[in-house]
Amino acid sequence: MLHLGLDIGGTKTEALLLNDRGEELHRERIATEKASYPAFLERLLAFINHLRRRADAPFTVGIGLPGAVDPQQGTIKNCNCLVLNGEDLRGDLQRQLDQPVWLANDADCFTLSEATDGAGAGLDVVFGVIVGTGCGGGVAVRQRLLSGPNAIAGEWGHNPLPDWSADIDGTPPACYCGRAHCIERFISGTGLSERFNRQWGTAFSAPQILAAAQRGDQRAEAHYRHFVDAFARSLGSVINLLDPDVIVLGGGLSNVDRLYVDVPLRLERYVFSGACRTAIRQAAFGDASGVRGAAWLPQFAPAPS
Listed in sequence order, the DSSP H helices in 118-173 are: 166-169
Same domain? For 82 and 132 the reply is no
Helix (H) or strand (E) run with residue 3 in it: strand 2-8
What does pLDDT average to in each consecutive run of 10 residues of the chain (305 residues)? 94 94 95 96 97 94 92 88 94 97 94 96 97 92 90 91 94 84 94 94 96 96 97 97 97 95 96 92 94 93 66
Residue 146 main-chain phi, psi, to 5 deg: -85, 130
Q: How far apart are CA 267 and CA 284, in angstroms?
A: 22
Q: What is the pLDDT of residue 173?
A: 80
Same domain? For 174 and 242 the reply is yes
Please report, for the domain that includes residue 217, its CATH number.
Answer: 3.30.420.40
Q: What are the C-alpha distances in Å from 58 to residues 17, 55, 215?
A: 11, 7, 52
- 60 belongs to a structural domain: yes
- 96 belongs to a structural domain: yes
Q: What is the pLDDT of residue 302?
A: 67
Same domain? For 58 and 143 the reply is no
* Count of the separate structural domains present in the chain: 2
Q: What is the pLDDT of residue 209?
A: 97
Same domain? For 152 and 215 the reply is yes
Q: Domain range holding 136?
A: 123-283
Same domain? For 101 and 154 the reply is no
- 117 belongs to a structural domain: no
Same domain? For 277 and 145 the reply is yes
Same domain? For 167 and 294 the reply is no
Same domain? For 127 and 272 the reply is yes
Same domain? For 47 and 129 the reply is no
Whole-structure pTM value: 0.92
Same domain? For 207 and 264 the reply is yes
- 243 belongs to a structural domain: yes
Same domain? For 229 and 295 the reply is no
Same domain? For 175 and 243 the reply is yes
- 3-state class percentages of the chain: helix first, strand second, coil last, to nearest 5: 40, 20, 35
